[in-house]
Structure 1
Amino acid sequence: MKTSFKNLITIFSITLSLFIFFSCSENKDRNSTSSNSIKIERKIDSVLSLLTLEEKVAMTHAQSKFSTKGVGRLGIPEIWMADGPHGVRAEISWDSWDYAGWTNDSITAFPALTCLAASFNPKLAGEYGFSLGEEARYRKKDVLLGPGVNTYRTPMNGRNFEYMGEDPFLASTLVVPYIKNVQKNGVAACVKHYALNNQEKWRDKVNVEVSDRALHEIYLPAFKASVQEAGVWAIMGAYNKFRGQYTTHHKILTTKILKKDWKYDGVVISDWSSAHTTKEAATYGLDLEMGTGTDGLGTTTANHYDQYFLANPFLEAIKKGELSEDLVDKKVRRILRLMYRTNMSKNRPLGNVNTKEHHQVARKVATEGIVLLKNEDNFFPIKDNKNITIAVIGENATRSMTAGGGSSELKPKFEISPLEGIKRRFKNATVIHSMGYETGPSMYDVIMPAKLNQDSLRIAAINTARKADIVLYVGGLNKSHLQDCEGDDRRSYKLPYKQEKFIKELKNVNPNLGMLLLTGNAVDMSFLPNVQGLIQTWYLGSMAGTAIADVVSGDVNPSGKLPFSFPKKLEDNAAHSFGDTSYPGVNFTQHYKEDILVGYRWHDTKNIEPQYAFGFGMSYTNFELSNITSDRKSYSENDKIIIKCDVSNIGDMKGAEVVQVYVGKENSDVKRAVKELKGFMKVYLDKGNKETVSITVDASKLAYYNEKISDWTIEKGDYNIYVGNASNDISKKLKIKIN
């Protein structure tokens, strides 16, 4: 067919017009954002000129447990904050840690962030963040104190359940959509705890010594992504020290890296009581001091908020000329910028709470994050037949897991327990229950005693197991002190309350035994030979029981992948392999001797087989990865590496698989892990179907942090690309070259 010259000109004109239109649209959006920022900065200049020194200083510290002062005469509002990486905390009293006793502060409890990380689903992370942001906005909060992105270094950390696992790439990929979508509601996400707060034991005094390389490659990437990719509006400091200086006001971390190198324009908020001196708080980047709660010297005094380090002591130092007024101006500029983004924004939505949509998001995150770890003889899924009796045994089958845990404790409108969820779903089977053991209520910083007779509970549970066709033991940890709880770390890697012995006793009377493991941490799995099936269920919030029943019944095929390694014994974990010097430290100083070899990097490089590897998770169906290729064999450092792979569902039911791409450097000039996660994609397939997935890796992301030049370096030469569905289950290894 011939095309006339006139037609070619017409086609070219249309194409050019469309190109110009879309280019202009993009430029218009960028220009609009830039123009809006300029207008805000001019408004801030105007407001700053109207504020007295006393008013400016008053804006930089708390006036109550969770709020800061406004300036009434100028119409500048207060700032209100709430704890909440996985739900908006109930209202706290003005000047104590007691709950205020409101009747309208119940919310949706979303799954803890370990579960979100296990979903390997960035889109779902965005839905999670948006729903959570809506609830915070409805509760009239300006700052949501979350998410937490500290690195899973040791399974003993009592707060690991609040974080996103051991891999910096996974955490970075998920935290960005979470933050962006929280902030769409006019609520600031406050990413925490910056930085190196990787244990709760001695958290307020431990001094961390770690190499610059490990700092930049392992412990900072999720914070950096929060700033540079998500545009987070608030960051919370940490309690610990780094190289002898408290991290909340740190010359290197806060002043240089965060505010100078990353060009962060938001506020730095202290953790509650993590500020320590007026001079350092004023000089090294702290903008809002919260929670000091006394005069800063450990004694309670009248008008104690006025005695915060950034209160009267700051004011007096400026008046005496010991500190420059420019320091408070910089802080207030950031605070006002936060306000124009939140409570002084004209385009702020109203929010909502406890909607069906929020409950569905919570349920979906839960079902996608649940991990099937063992399934001998297809123990799971369990069919709902009339002629079977299912014994659900264990205190965790009925215990609230939104209560306790520290500052992330929640007051949900409802919380469906595992037992309740199973009873609702299994309407044909007979479901019976026995506790087996009892513990006291979850309280902060104290272990409450049990009230019931433990021997009687154990005997009753064993008798219940004898009556059943199937036993589901619901065990693990809980949110009590010295377990999965803020304030201190676990004391043992084993399951508490003699559960290992109890599981063996249950098996002796009924070998048809499966287990639901409720934890936010890895545990010793010496009990594993005694259970036919094992599901890691995390802490799932409001919809816990429903989501668990979805997976147990097979209504939903599990697709979660572990976001951290499960070592066979504690000494197999990198941090613990070096003894007390590395964890918890000696004389309140610890050295991260494993350096960059955290989690699976350690297991791979040292050839230490884990109990369960990072990225591992089974399915009720079977998948096959094939035709794995790279688009080229050779790349420059600015190229994109495109990996393609066919994923086939060769089993009997629909499901989802996570294709994982790891990269390792051959013959590196520096110490490297065998491989590191650099890309992943979750693909959903009906039985018998096949799909080709494409995963892009920026060649620039293969760089290591070069301590000699304090910058990133990409080594030339050969690299290995590993494609599989777990860090220890690689389907194919490819070779490429960076020129």
Structure 2
Amino acid sequence: MKKNPTLKLLPLLFFLTGCAGGARNDVPLAAYQDATLPLEERIEDALSRMTLEEKVAMLHAQSKFSSAGVPRLGIPEVWCTDGPHGIRPEVLWDEWDQAGWTNDSCTAFPALTCLAATWNPAMSALYGQSIGEEARYREKDVLLGPGVNIYRTPLNGRNFEYMGEDPYLASRMVVPYVQEVQKQGVAACVKHFALNNQETRRLSVDVEVDDRALYEIYLPAFKAAVEEGGAWAVMGAYNKYKGQHCCHNEYLLNDILKGEWGFDGVVISDWGGVHDTEESIRNGLDMEFGTWTDGLRSGTRNAYDNYYLAHPYLDLLRKGAADVNTLDDKVRRVLRLIFRTAMNTQKPFGSLNSPEHLAAARQIAGEGMVLLKNDNGTLPLDAGSTKRLLVVGENAVKMMTVGGGSSSLKVRHEVTPLEGLRAAATAAGCEVVYERGYVGDPTGSYNGVTTGQDLSETRSEEQLLADAVSAAKEADAVLFIGGLNKSWGQDCEGGDRKEYGLPYAQDRVIEALAAANPRLAVVLVSGNAVAMPWVDRVPAVLEAWFSGSEAGNALADVVFGKVNPSGKLPFTFPVHLEDNAAHALGEFPGGDSVRYNESLFVGYRWHDTKAIKPLFAFGHGLSYTTFEIGNLRLSTDRLDADGSLTLRVDVTNTGDRPGAEVVQLYIGDDESFVPRPVKELKGFAKVSLQPGETQTVEFGITPASLSYYDDTKGAWTAEPGLFTAYVGAASDDIRGSVDFTLE
């Protein structure tokens, strides 16, 4: 039976009342108990009181999601929870099976692809605050998220948990998330560090990537989370790099994370990501979790004692074969984590499933949806004049909060697209008719959580299609709601997608509906790009993502125009899979190793350089209104090596609806002596405007904005010469440019 996590507060409460360990009220607090003293002084005092055995016990799991504290000193244990989209339901002490609690249903927030698609750091802050409050309410000390691995290929099954293909966008979006989670007294654990870009052979594949790509593409979001966000924890990745597993990797953890970036938090292993005691000791790992999945059945009384950083480490220390100074560094980091979280007397109260959290989930989902195409004003629908709306597709009714791997959640209720659309349409007198159209995955369970939905179907594929087409001919408008789901082999941890196209013969259904009714909008529920061979025959396409508890309400807000879409793609949709660099150059998923032959030419960088037209470009997203971007001007056209310049640009809402536009700044190096992309994102601003309103957006440009990583010097370099600043509404929609020189 699972322990009650509130019990961990009792030692702290004893100390706060001056009664710890049976002490009298007139006995002064020990230094580590005194929250008024400097943090590092408290850490050193606690460390000095601990035995060797107590130190080692803090470095490894004692259950599925907790590690031991020091009961003798009243130092509480550490409790982790999976994120990054919601607080995972409780599992049994030693097993993945559900604990059977009735009060652990959470708010499911949109997947991080949706958050990134808002291009709005304020939404990231709202997300972090809300999920942090839920973690705090559940007495969790570490939230295992957010994820910031780069979108290298559309086939990665775990892309939906990350923030897209661009390091600058991911960097700007991760910082507010981390900061707001930690204001709740909960550590954000940024993952998966690093180069976790595929699920195929994820436990063993050795990634080969050049240093320029590592530093320019794959590390910046982690660096921003640590240096700007102040992250208290980082999770190692499953894969290898330079022949070492990333959970105990000398170059990543010691040299870069703790060395170059000065990280003072804890490195936490992914569950099952540790493989060697001596490497774990030497190469930067601080806390080991999940090495075996069932502590009761591994042949010993307490399997946790056999973890690599448990008795094997203790034996080396007792024999003098391991350095105590290295041990103390690990323990200091764990103590620092505990004082920041479990023993933080200033952390606020949390809340779970509050109206505010549901409203936040709905707002983020609505702002993140991306209107990819909208010919002839197909969207928004006017519910008052649309008397009969046909909704087709399994994803209109299938719950998406269950499944997908460790981000699977248990929610009190998930508003499906059909539910949300019906609620909004019925109020306006519009009849909503539903046809399934296709059968995908009728199951709905993961790790003991079941949706309770009966999605069984007796009709044949041909009959389902015929029924949908017949209904489409009688409807005023048709919404096809399909895409991917969180089943294995789609958007799911543990396995990559098998194909770029839509599964379950959805293309056939879409084409038949387009022939039956010209007023068709396709709504994609996914965390990945998909092929669209029918795109020229469909007037409107909306990317709705995995949108969480309020998915249906958020979709209805956009479809019926209550919310004007303002999301922008955080990654490129290629026309064909071969248009993606990782596939064009033949190294995905590799074998025992995978080489990133495309180097830093990921996503739009590859499309720009090779002049490959995307299906939908990075940064693309339409609105129900129109915007004009122009009148670029520089404060100076010459930038000193230690100076800065300001670029100003005007943006005007030229339509008849209030809306928001994301003004995007890209910079290209016109005289580089090393290979560089045509342009790279270096700034963005989301601007809300009333019809006819104009605002001026300012971007600061410094030499750091122009630099590349010089792998021959191991340093960032900005070459003097001519540069071009491009401003637009997408990577392929540049509205103006201006040149300047770096002296």
User: TM-score w.r.t. structure 1 length?
Assistant: 0.92
Counterpart amino acid of residue 585 in structure 1: G
Deviations 1:279-316 (A, max 9, x none): 011111100000001699x9654411110000111111
Counterpart amino acid of residue 303 in structure 1: N
- Give 3-state SS (helix, strand or coil) of 1:603's partner: helix
Alpha-carbon contact 1:111-1:541 (below 8 Å) kept: yes
Counterpart amino acid of residue 137 in structure 2: Y
Name the CA distance, whole Å, in 2 between partners of 1:274 and 1:346.
Answer: 33
Counterpart check, 1:423 vs 2:422: yes
**Which residue of structure 2 lines up, in the alignment, with residue 498 of structure 1?**
505
Deviations 1:74-94 (A, max 9, x none): 101011010011111111111
Counterpart amino acid of residue 722 in structure 1: Y
Name the CA distance, whole Å, in 2 between partners of 1:399 and 1:105.
Answer: 22
Alpha-carbon contact 1:442-1:479 (below 8 Å) kept: no
Name the CA distance, whole Å, in 2 between partners of 1:664 and 1:299.
Answer: 57
**Which residue of structure 2 lines up, in the alignment, with residue 570 of structure 1?**
577
Name the CA distance, whole Å, in 2 between partners of 1:332 and 1:250.
Answer: 19
Moved more, 207-216 or 407-416: 407-416
**Which residue of structure 2 lines up, in the alignment, with residue 674 of structure 1?**
678
Deviations 1:655-676 (A, max 9, x none): 0000000001012010000000
Shift in CA distance, 492/176, structure 1 to aligned 2, threshold 3 Å: same
**Which residue of structure 2 lines up, in the alignment, with residue 583 of structure 1?**
588
Shift in CA distance, 299/75, structure 1 to aligned 2, threshold 3 Å: closer
Counterpart amino acid of residue 689 in structure 2: L
Alpha-carbon contact 1:605-1:673 (below 8 Å) kept: yes
Alpha-carbon contact 1:637-1:700 (below 8 Å) kept: no
1:440 aligned to 439, 442, 446, which one? 442
Name the CA distance, whole Å, in 1 between partners of 2:515 and 2:530.
Answer: 22
1:664 aligned to 665, 668, 674, which one? 668
Alpha-carbon contact 2:59-2:310 (below 8 Å) kept: yes
Moved more, 688-697 or 77-86: 688-697
Counterpart check, 1:508 vs 2:476: no
Name the CA distance, whole Å, in 2 between partners of 1:191 and 1:676.
Answer: 24
- Give 3-state SS (helix, strand or coil) of 1:391's partner: strand
1:36 Cα offset (Å): 8.4
Name the CA distance, whole Å, in 2 between partners of 1:593 and 1:738.
Answer: 31
Name the CA distance, whole Å, in 1 between partners of 2:52 and 2:263.
Answer: 25
1:38 Cα offset (Å): 7.3
Deviations 1:44-73 (A, max 9, x none): 111111111111111100011100011111
- Give 3-state SS (helix, strand or coil) of 1:674's partner: coil
**Which residue of structure 2 lines up, in the alignment, with residue 360 of structure 1?**
359
Moved more, 637-646 or 423-432: 637-646
1:690 Cα offset (Å): 1.0
Alpha-carbon contact 1:295-1:307 (below 8 Å) kept: no
1:726 aligned to 716, 727, 730, which one? 730
Alignment of 1:153-192 (within 5 A): 153-192=152-191
Deviations 1:149-192 (A, max 9, x none): 00000000000001000000000001001100000000000000
Counterpart amino acid of residue 663 in structure 1: I
1:555 aligned to 548, 559, 562, which one? 562
Shift in CA distance, 294/301, structure 1 to aligned 2, threshold 3 Å: farther
Deviations 1:379-429 (A, max 9, x none): 001001256210001110010110100000111222111111111111211
1:544 aligned to 547, 551, 576, which one? 551
**Which residue of structure 2 lines up, in the alignment, with residue 221 of structure 1?**
220
Name the CA distance, whole Å, in 2 between partners of 1:301 and 1:199.
Answer: 34
1:467 Cα offset (Å): 2.5
**Which residue of structure 2 lines up, in the alignment, with residue 22 of structure 1?**
none
Name the CA distance, whole Å, in 2 between partners of 1:323 and 1:454.
Answer: 66
User: TM-score w.r.t. structure 2 length?
Assistant: 0.92
Alignment of 1:706-721 (within 5 A): 706-721=710-725
Moved more, 510-519 or 711-720: 510-519
Counterpart check, 1:653 vs 2:657: yes
Structure 1 vs Structure 2: percent identity of aligned residues? 53
5+ residue gaps in structure 2? Answer: 1-33, 449-453
**Which residue of structure 2 lines up, in the alignment, with residue 414 of structure 1?**
413
2:605 aligned to 598, 601, 604, which one? 601
- Give 3-state SS (helix, strand or coil) of 2:704's partner: helix
1:699 Cα offset (Å): 2.4
1:442 Cα offset (Å): 4.6
1:470 Cα offset (Å): 0.9
Alpha-carbon contact 2:113-2:545 (below 8 Å) kept: yes
Name the CA distance, whole Å, in 1 between partners of 2:488 and 2:137.
Answer: 31
Name the CA distance, whole Å, in 2 between partners of 1:191 and 1:484.
Answer: 20
Deviations 1:579-628 (A, max 9, x none): 1xx11013x11110000100000000111110000000001111001211
Moved more, 623-632 or 452-461: 452-461
**Which residue of structure 2 lines up, in the alignment, with residue 98 of structure 1?**
97
**Which residue of structure 2 lines up, in the alignment, with residue 612 of structure 1?**
616
Alpha-carbon contact 2:573-2:617 (below 8 Å) kept: yes
Deviations 1:75-118 (A, max 9, x none): 01011010011111111111111111110011111111101100
- Give 3-state SS (helix, strand or coil) of 1:177's partner: helix
Counterpart amino acid of residue 492 in structure 1: E
Name the CA distance, whole Å, in 1 between partners of 2:350 and 2:405.
Answer: 26
- Give 3-state SS (helix, strand or coil) of 1:514's partner: strand
1:549 Cα offset (Å): 0.6
Name the CA distance, whole Å, in 2 between partners of 1:384 and 1:551.
Answer: 12
- Give 3-state SS (helix, strand or coil) of 2:38's partner: helix
Alpha-carbon contact 2:438-2:509 (below 8 Å) kept: no
Name the CA distance, whole Å, in 2 between partners of 1:300 and 1:472.
Answer: 55
Alpha-carbon contact 2:98-2:447 (below 8 Å) kept: no
Alignment of 1:239-388 (within 5 A): 239-293=238-292, 301-385=300-384, 388=387
- Give 3-state SS (helix, strand or coil) of 1:426's partner: helix
Deviations 1:685-716 (A, max 9, x none): 01111111112233223111001111111111
Name the CA distance, whole Å, in 1 between partners of 2:532 and 2:328.
Answer: 55
Name the CA distance, whole Å, in 2 between partners of 1:449 and 1:490.
Answer: 23
1:519 aligned to 513, 519, 526, which one? 526
1:561 Cα offset (Å): 0.3
Name the CA distance, whole Å, in 2 between partners of 1:301 and 1:442.
Answer: 35
Alpha-carbon contact 2:399-2:444 (below 8 Å) kept: no
2:484 aligned to 457, 477, 480, which one? 477
Name the CA distance, whole Å, in 2 between partners of 1:243 and 1:154.
Answer: 21
- Give 3-state SS (helix, strand or coil) of 2:531's partner: coil
Alpha-carbon contact 1:294-1:300 (below 8 Å) kept: no
1:451 Cα offset (Å): 5.6
Alpha-carbon contact 2:388-2:431 (below 8 Å) kept: yes
Counterpart check, 1:396 vs 2:381: no
Counterpart amino acid of residue 442 in structure 2: G
Counterpart amino acid of residue 643 in structure 1: L
1:462 Cα offset (Å): 2.6
Name the CA distance, whole Å, in 1 between partners of 2:723 and 2:715.
Answer: 21
Shift in CA distance, 300/194, structure 1 to aligned 2, threshold 3 Å: farther
Name the CA distance, whole Å, in 1 between partners of 2:253 and 2:37.
Answer: 25
Name the CA distance, whole Å, in 2 between partners of 1:175 and 1:454.
Answer: 46
Shift in CA distance, 477/412, structure 1 to aligned 2, threshold 3 Å: same
Alpha-carbon contact 2:402-2:446 (below 8 Å) kept: no
Counterpart check, 1:702 vs 2:706: yes
5+ residue gaps in structure 1? Answer: 1-34
